[in-house]
Amino acid sequence: MSAEGIILQVLNGLDKGSAYALIALGLTLIFGTLGVVNFAHGALFMIGAFCAVTLSRLLSLSHVVIDETKTDFLGKPLEVNVPYVFDMFGPETGQAIIDWSVPLAILFSIPVMVLVGFAMERGLIKHFYKRPHADQILVTFGLAIVMQEIIKAFFGANPIPTPAPPAFSGSFDFGALIGMENIIYPYWRLVYFSFAMIIIGAVFAFLRYTTFGMVVRAGMADRETVGILGINIDRRFTIMFAIAACVAGLAGVMYTPINPPNYHMGMDFLVLSFVVVVVGGMGSLPGAVLAGFLLGILESFASMSEVIAILPGINQIIIYLVAIIILLTRPRGLMGRAGVMED
């Protein structure tokens, strides 16, 4: 196998790995702060993706205008659908806004996700702090079913294609950049990876360099003492929940051009993300990110035809296989701390 082949597989693994890492990061944040196992986290990812769909539909809302200059084949004046954004910004800017609906959805999804996050935490999860983990898993699992059924009722069961802006559609030769040949890679995947790195960096910087983040970290280590110091740690943890929801939502928004969103995409990712969290070590943020990328890249290597020829079917099970091996050899995952979830 050539060096180009290896680089290509690593690159291929990065975009899926980014999605795993972002979801696992949010899961770990929630688990580390609130001590809640959130099975509805995949649904938050999915809601983020549907924020992008909603925005692109909103922007394309149009009204019918009769164009006198053109006629259809019967000789009548042609009816044209003109999106409202064309009226507001003119046709060129309007078209650009529609094309860039996915990146714009980032702005749209942040308030939505914060709102959903707050509602979820205050409305439901708050009441489950003291209940056993099994109850938390079950109630959030129920919530995930409800959320995905609501989305299904509004958007139907079929995947909805949501294209990337034209500037980023198509592929480029990554090899030319680093002096090698023939590493063709889609633009958007690189965008997704960079975006994920920015988000991950921002979350870590926020926790590391702000006072708020310091208090949250202190609360993760010893909630009771922080409370005794007179800090309202619950409120800060609620905000962290909203941030985690945002991270999942943004991961979903940017994922739409890679994979057209459907209502059960959240559950598909959730199962794998849980495996990622456990492999990384429950409660460890760097572990979650590391395991996310690691498993994404491993999955992409396992789906190479050379590997499948030796071990048929390995691409389907590699993640689970790795998870089993790691759990049995390193009981706390790659970077887990002692005493988490071991009661």
If one asks whether residue 141 binds another protein (CB under 8 A), the answer comes out as yes
If one asks whether residue 119 binds another protein (CB under 8 A), the answer comes out as no
Closest CB 320 distance from another protein, rounded Å: 4
In the window 235-294, what residues touch another protein (CB under 8 A)?
267, 271, 274-275, 278, 282
Q: Is the CB of 74 or the CB of 338 nearer to another protein?
A: 338
Q: Which two tokens stand for residue 183?
A: 């590493």
Q: Is the CB of 261 or the CB of 283 nearer to another protein?
A: 283
If one asks whether residue 145 binds another protein (CB under 8 A), the answer comes out as yes
If one asks whether residue 334 binds another protein (CB under 8 A), the answer comes out as no
What is the size of the binding site for another protein (CB under 8 A)? 40
Closest CB 279 distance from another protein, rounded Å: 9
If one asks whether residue 307 binds another protein (CB under 8 A), the answer comes out as no
If one asks whether residue 323 binds another protein (CB under 8 A), the answer comes out as yes
Residue of 200, 188, 180, 290 lying closest to 250 (CA atoms): 200
Contact 269, 26 (CB under 8 A): no
Q: Is the CB of 131 or the CB of 208 nearer to another protein?
A: 131
Site residues (vs another protein, CB under 8 A): 37, 124, 127, 131, 133-135, 137-139, 141-146, 149-150, 152-153, 267, 271, 274-275, 278, 282, 312-313, 316-317, 320-321, 323-324, 327-328, 331, 341-343
